Each structure stands twice: as structure tokens, then as C-alpha cells.
Amino acid sequence: MAAHSQRNPQPVATFSSREFAHDLANVKRAAQEGPVFITDRGTPTYALMKIEDFRRLANSGTPARSLLDVMDSLPDTSGIEFEPPRLQGLVKSADLDD
């Protein structure tokens, strides 16, 4: 296992696929300290991290909101009048006789 840091305050540990398969407990301990790269033939192919870190990255630090939550947060538009003009000649009736 090799550990190093690149512009990241958390150390990055690297394990081969074989080390990962044979010493999962050690890999999990390393993931408590920072991201873990799993390599195949020396090339990083997977990254392992704590679920809290993953969620923070996936949500950019903001909690996920449902579409209903977003719509409920929009300002009230009941006082706005909107009467779009009718578009004449742009829509043709479907011919269902063929």
C-alpha cells in the first residue's frame, strides 16, 4: 500500500486489486482517513470513500430537494395575468382517415 497527498488535505491510499480482496479490513481503515484508490495492473480503476464524503460531493454540500419542494418554494404567481396570443396556422389537424 502506498499513501500520498496531492493538493488534497486527506491522504489518498492506493491498494492493488489483490490487496483489496485479501485485506478488506485494512482498506476500510484507510478509507476512514481519506479516499482509497484500487488499482488493476498499476492503473487506478476504482475509488472507495466514506458514504458521508460521497454524499457531500454528490450534493455539493446541499441536501437533495424533490421537485415538489422546489415548486413549493417558487414565489406566488396568482396575481399575474397571462393570456398568450393564439397561434393561427402553425398547427395542422391530424388526418386520421388514411
Span 7-50, pLDDT tens digits: 545 678 999 999 999 999 999 999 999 999 999 999 999 999 99
Q: What is the mean pLDDT of the chain?
A: 83
Neighbours of 17 (CB within 10 A): 13
Q: Quote the CA–CA distance of 35 and 46 in Å, as a whole number.
A: 10
Which positions ≥6 away from 39 have C-beta within 8 Å?
14, 15, 16, 17, 45
Q: Does pTM surpass 0.85?
A: no
